[in-house]
Structure 1
Amino acid sequence: MRISPRKVGLLGALYFVQGLPFGFQSTALPVYLRSSGVSLMTISMVGLLAAPWMAKALWAPLVDRYGSERLGRRKSWILPMQAGLAATCAAAAFVPVPGALPLLLGLIFLMNLFAATQDIAVDGLAVDLLEPRELGWGNSAQVVGYKLGMLTGGGLLVWAVDVIGWRGLFLSMSFLSLLVLGVAALVREPRPVAEGTATERPSWTEVRDRLLTAVRLPGTGWVLLFIGTYKLGESMADVLFKPFLVDAGFSAGQIGQWVGTWGTVASLLGSAVGGMLVSRMPLLGALALATALRVFPLGGQWWLALEGPTSSGVIAVTMAEHFFGGVLTTALFAFMMSRVDRRIGATHYTLLASVEVLGKSPGGPIAGLLASRAGWSYANVFLLATVLSVAFAVLLLPLRQRPSSSTRPLSPQV
């Protein structure tokens, strides 16, 4: 199959940069804060800094509707967001912790705001540019590029923190953002070529009417409920797992290597396996299998907290957690794409993605309250997370029994 390396390379680079701040926040920031003496309650609340990823559907129609035709509808959003991301990363390098913790957290919030807004534009760019025969490669660029960004921001740079320091980590993120900004600025935005994609800007009425039609499809309420809850238990365990390792005596370099680097590599492999699973099984069957397999590594975290963590145990559980998490994420995203009306692809997919992020956001604060205020042990929180993951998996049963009514799929796999 012939593809356009230029398109796939550009999308992969843009998704890579969007993964940098989220990788840092989810993996490196808890280690950074705990190493600086910040409380578990504060660390458990940092997930709220990802609020722009939850709320981006509110301004997604603006990104679809406005933009300079001369510069490029999507580039006129991508370039300033990229510049803002580079500037906030550079500024964060000079903010001390804990002396100016609110300022640091505010800058990380802005990183997420710039990255989330760019994500809307890049999703729109992908829908505009990819021909049907290129969609599979476009999906690969999205998942692999984003996870490589997370690997860099939450793993490789943390692994090197003993050499470059935390300031060097932030400056490295800023440099990588500027590098991709230069690439995006030099590339001329091609005209939309995807089948079924309008070449003119959709009106507000058209966006609204198409979204309302999509929301009213049979079974949509149950779909949104599952998308919003499938990772709640996982998010509860994840927010405390890195502090758990710090309190157990592991160094920042070890945690960055195991969780941020090797874990992300396992996640990339899981994402590839998830794509194969989706292509060879009925979509809901693949999603159900991935959901069931994801429960086992969560139980492994509970076992580590009960028996005491060892290096080999942490590595095994971390690799399994990220691998099966990658399988599940790919299956879930394929399912979401099967529900998207590609005529408003960026806005519709952004809505579903926002529900996914919003649904798992309460997990961190709940886990923090249980651990710091209610006095729950790490083991008890990890056990609750495992039980909740099993409970929410049951939401799949009505979906499997109900025929799927969807609009034109975004991906040929689904």
Structure 2
Amino acid sequence: MQRTRQSQLLFFSLMTGLTSGFPYLLTSDTLKIWMSLSNISLVYVGLASLINLPYTLRFLWAPVIDSIGSYRKAYGIVSIFLCAFTLFTLSLCQIDKQPLLSALTASFTAFFGASSSVALESQWLLSMTTDERQACIGMNNFGFRLSLIITGALSIVLADWISWKVTYQVMSALMILQGMYFIYCPIALDQQSHQPIQHCMSNLLSLINRLINQKQTLLFIISYKITDGFVLNMLSIFMLKALHISPTNIAIIHKVVGLSMSLCGAFFATWYIKRYQLTHSLKVFALFQSGTIILLACIAYYPPDNLAYVVVIIATETFSNGCLSIAIMSYVLNLINPEYAATEYALYTTLSSLSRYIIGPFTGILITYTSWSQYFVCASLIGLTSVWLLTQAQQADREIGLTNSPD
């Protein structure tokens, strides 16, 4: 019986990650490719970056989801079906003739996708015990990255083979299947009582105030994946401009090698954190990530003739990135109060990805005035600040007597 529950919980974790990430690329990168191939003005393509803003701002309406208690699952399922409906509607839009209508439809898709992810992830958090957490985090991350493969590379290939209209209809059908799974999901979820919306909003404000007062913890959460802003935003351009790798090889390295090694890193981090202390793991993975970025600086300074060297270094860097993703998620989940799981999960995950959006716009300016090797050395050194901030956050927690901070 216990083995059956563990299997069901792991599959539930995978499906939660898959569903949470499924609409994301369909309203961002994949949609932009469709718009570009439809000869849409680059102005509209650039503005399409705002479509996924609900994923960043979802903590604003997460208190509403917390207030409905055990109905969070139902809210998530309804959001999945609405997301599938808007995806189907998007497929019917003439994107070249109706760019604004298409963007509005995609915005609704992003809103329902962000809402379903908050509702389902908060229920997922409540479904597992502390001992089950690390294995569940690994499977959840695997599901999320699997969704990126399906809605990214696979959907682009499918659109090239048939059409964008049919591709988005297929993705809509897959969303419906995911919704059906959650309707009949065998995992028994804790029944939580409803809470007044005022209490949930008050908790959000008090959490923000608490984080402002605990500046070290706030800065650590924001900065831990700051290297993403440097590396992920410019890696393709680096390979294309500095290493002169063909677009086809870049796609293979990114989609096949990159995602595969990122998954390997996620599963390794799951094992490592379970075996060693979380705080120790956070520091080790941050140092490892900074080291792999130095390797990028090395190939920028001495470009190798053999593509295999580049592949190995990119694989190592994406492996370390997978480790970082699991580590910061584990840290964040330890901070969440189950009573307000949706609100706190939405806020913490927004903060943990914030640095990528802050740094991203400035990377092009930085590389314009430096060399690629200097750029990556700078990124590596900045990444090390998270280790110092974690030490400061631990010290501050001990001084004020916090007992619920991660070990």
Give the shorter-chain TM-score range: 0.7 to 0.9
Whether the 8 Å CA contact 1:341–1:348 is kept in 2: the answer is yes
Q: Tell me which residue corresponds to 1:62.
A: 64
Checking the alignment, whether the CA contact within 8 Å between 1:129 and 1:192 is kept in structure 2 is: yes
Aligned to 1:76: 74
1:138 aligns with 2:129: no
The letter of the residue matching 1:179 is L
Pair 1:108–1:120, CA change in 2 (3 A): same
* Corresponding position of 2:357: 361
Q: Is the counterpart of residue 15 in structure 1 residue 13 in structure 2? A: no
Distance 2:185 2:57 in 1: 29
Residues 129 and 392 of structure 1, relative CA distance in 2, 3 Å threshold: closer
Whether the 8 Å contact between 1:81 and 1:118 is mirrored in structure 2 is yes
| Cα gap change, 1:21 to 1:305, in 2 (>3 Å) | farther
For 2:16, the aligned partner's letter is: L
Give the alignment partner of residue 221 of structure 2, picking from 223, 227, 230. Answer: 227
Question: Where in structure 1 are there 5+ consecutive unaligned residues?
Answer: 194-198
DSSP 3-state at the match of 2:190: coil
Identity %: 20
Matched, 1:251 2:253: no
Other-structure match for 2:179: 181
| Aligned position for 1:87 | 85
Query: What letter corresponds to residue 260 of structure 2 in structure 1?
Result: V
Shift of 1:150: 1.9
* 1:19 to partner: Cα distance: 1.6
Residue in 2 that maps onto 1:333:
329
Cα-to-partner distance string for 1:247-280 (whole Å, 9 max, x where unaligned): 646335x444321233222112111211222223
Once the two structures are superposed, residues 27-76 of structure 1 have per-residue CA deviations (whole angstroms, 9 ceiling, x without a partner) of 65677778889999998886654422221111111011137xxxx60233
Is 1:274 aligned with 2:269?
A: yes
TM alignment of 1:36-185, pairs within 5 A: 48-66=50-68, 73-93=71-91, 107-132=105-130, 134-158=132-156, 162-164=160-162, 169-185=167-183
- One-letter identity of the residue aligned with 1:61: P
CA contact (8 A) 1:17 1:176 kept: no
Whole-angstrom distance in 2 between the partners of 1:159 and 1:400:
47
Letter in 2 for 1:216: R
Asked if the contact 1:57/1:350 (under 8 Å) is kept, the reply is yes
Residues 355 and 249 (structure 1), Cα distance of their counterparts in 2 relative to 1, 3 Å cut = same
TM-score relative to the length of structure 1? 0.79
Inter-partner Cα distance in structure 1 for 2:49 and 2:153: 18
Alignment partners' CA distance in 1, 2:39 and 2:234 = 15
Alignment of 1:202 with 2:170, yes or no, is: no
**TM-fit CA distance, 1:166:** 5.1
Q: CA RMSD in A?
A: 3.9
- In terms of fraction of residues, the more helix-rich structure is 2
Distance in 2 (alpha carbons) for counterparts of 1:96 and 1:307? 48
Counterpart of 1:196 in structure 2 is: none
**By how many angstroms is 1:209 displaced?**
5.5
Pick closer, same or farther for the CA change 1:221–1:210 going to 2, 3 Å: same
8 Å Cα contact 1:214-1:341 kept in structure 2: no
Separation (CA, whole Å) in 2 of partners of 1:303 and 1:328: 22
Contact 1:81–1:117 at 8 Å: present in 2 too? yes
In structure 2, C-alpha distance between the alignment counterparts of 1:286 and 1:46, rounded to whole Å: 37
Number of equivalent positions: 399
Shift of 1:328: 1.2
1: CA distance, partners of 2:303 / 2:164: 29
> What letter matches 1:192 in structure 2?
D
Cα distance in structure 2, aligned partners of 1:297 and 1:333: 21
Structure-1 residue corresponding to 2:283: 288
State the distance in 2 between where 1:37 and 1:302 align.
Answer: 37
Find the aligned partners of 1:293 and 1:226 in 2 and give their Cα distance. 17
DSSP-derived class of the 2:353 partner: helix
Say which of 178, 190, 193 aligns to 1:192: 190
8 Å Cα contact 2:226/2:356 also seen in 1: yes
* Aligned counterparts of 1:304 and 1:100: Cα–Cα separation in 2: 45
- Report deviation, 1:327: 0.8
Q: Which whole-Å CA distance do the structure 2 matches of 1:386 and 1:131 have between them?
A: 36
Deviates more, 1:201-210 or 1:303-312: 303-312
- How high is the TM-score relative to the length of structure 2? 0.80
Q: Whole-Å Cα distance in 2 between the matches of residues 75 and 390 of structure 1?
A: 39
Tell me by how many angstroms 1:153 deviates. 2.2
The 3 A distance-change label for structure 1 pair 63 and 333 is: same
Q: 1:297 aligns with which of 287, 292, 295?
A: 292
